[in-house]
Chains A and B, each alone.
Chain A
């Protein structure tokens, strides 16, 4: 599927963050755009396998092999990071006050009501800035990014708050723009070796993984 809208050009996309962000994996620009499209179109239930995937036509150019979008992962320099924790506690007071008398015992150490204290890392980039590169339609990319106000995981409790997006045309580097730089991959690229990863959104899905070189 190729973008049939306006003309595509080399672009640099920049996000300025106001809060640290949480992510165990590189953040692909095409994943952000696909997420924004799904939100805008009300595709509320995430697909669980490839059969449920609805094709999304992003305002980006496809690679020559047609297997991935020409867009990089987010690149930043780490200023600082810290470990925080999320907690899960069973609502045992509500069990007692609002629950049926059949609830007689709450086990906080195992099974469904087990309590959790799970660490995660919050990263603060230098100047709060993350950059991506792509070949795409500037106006359409910008209109999708405007929907994204938070990045990464733990968005529901305020991590990765975006102050503003900038999408500008840029001069591409010579070899491999925007997916290879100095011979190193800037996104998941299908290859004969490497880890099993997806090369297009949704990157969290297990179905459709192939050998890829990755950042």
Chain B
């Protein structure tokens, strides 16, 4: 069993604006930021996408790819424990004997579900360490470029991309959820009693404003909800790295396929239902650390070719065993 470390580094372009928030201040959502030391020694808070978020997207991609390869997506009927393990890494359940390592069981586990070896998880009351590391999604800007791999800077220069400060890549927008009772044509859809009630409330609200009665104005106000949020502007670039230790060709292929599935439908953050979060792969490199060290090769075409063939064939061959195992797993 020989170890191989493979690392993918890639640049992705925000096809949509990115909304990924850390907290709300009143009705304002603040974009996720991290403290970062700049080359001049000062510390700044810079927007980024958390590694947790991208890792979870990778996990989802790997799970759906495996269930699809096993033909289990048409009628999954998974148990709660199986779902918790696949999509959230499982839990220490208190059922099972964590003090005994059953190596056969461990081997069966990662043989039937190769991505589990990569992501790790908690199975049969015992945590299994993962072999996958997902970097944070770093915004390509003046403040972060010193931490990016050298090929990223070279790519930016070669493609005439001018670096901006992160402040120019962040914008604040406001959206309003409307109150349907403020629209006369929608009020007509109400029952007679309800129409009278709504019109009475609107009159009372107007009168309270005219009289300057704050208490009544508050009581009779509409349910319109304006809220603002920060977002990274459309077209911005992010760079990210994903790295895994693998111990067999099957694990290596599962890793390649997971990265391929992630990048094929790469979304991060919230507000996906309203045109946010889509990223598109622009350029990338695959780096092999063993047996030689640090050799780079382009990753674009290779990922689209035979990647995943071994993995999918293996999962398909063991589909029935996988279904049976998922039916009894405690996680």
Contacts and interface: CB of A to CB of B under 8 A. Distances in A.
Given A112-B93, A158-B134, A128 B88 contact: no
A159 to B, nearest CB: 7
Interface in B33-52: 34-37, 41, 43, 50-52
Interface residue tally of chain B, by bracket?
35 or more
Interface string B57-95: 000000000010000010011111001101110010100
B158 interface: no
Nearest to B73: A98
Interface residues of A, number: 48
Interface stretch (B12-20, B96-104, B200-208): B96-104
Given A124-B35, A157-B136, A161-B135, A90 B247 contact: no
Contact of A88 (B88, B98, B129, B147): B88
A44 B247 contact: yes
Interface stretch (A58-66, A68-76, A146-154, A168-176): A146-154
B129 A98 contact: no
Chain A interface mostly:
mixed
A91 B87 contact: yes
Contact of A100 (B36, B77, B128, B245): B77
B98 A103 contact: no
Interface in B92-148: 93, 98-99, 101, 103, 106, 117, 120, 126, 128-136, 147
A147 B37 contact: no
A11 B207 CA distance: 81
A40 interface: yes
Contact of B245 (A39, A45, A80): A39
Interface SS of chain B: helix, strand, loop or mixed?
Answer: mixed
B55 interface: yes
Contacts, number: 122
A47 to B, nearest CB: 8
A109 interface: no
Contacts of B37: 79-80, 124, 127-128
B83 A158 contact: no
A102 B86 CA distance: 18
A167 to B, nearest CB: 15
B78 A99 contact: yes
A87 B247 CA distance: 30
A183 interface: no
A82 B133 contact: no
Interface string A19-62: 11000000000000000000111101110110010000000000
A146 B84 CA distance: 35
A113 B50 contact: no
26 contacts: A18-B147, A19-B147, A20-B35, A39-B3, A41-B3, A42-B3, A44-B131, A44-B247, A48-B99, A48-B101, A79-B37, A80-B35, A81-B35, A86-B52, A88-B88, A91-B84, A91-B87, A94-B86, A94-B87, A101-B77, A102-B80, A124-B36, A124-B37, A128-B37, A156-B134, A161-B135
Interface of B: 1-3, 5, 7, 34-37, 41, 43, 50-52, 54-55, 67, 73, 76-80, 83-84, 86-88, 91, 93, 98-99, 101, 103, 106, 117, 120, 126, 128-136, 147, 241, 243, 245, 247, 289, 293
Closest 7 CB pairs of A and B: A157-B51, A158-B51, A91-B87, A158-B135, A98-B76, A42-B1, A158-B136
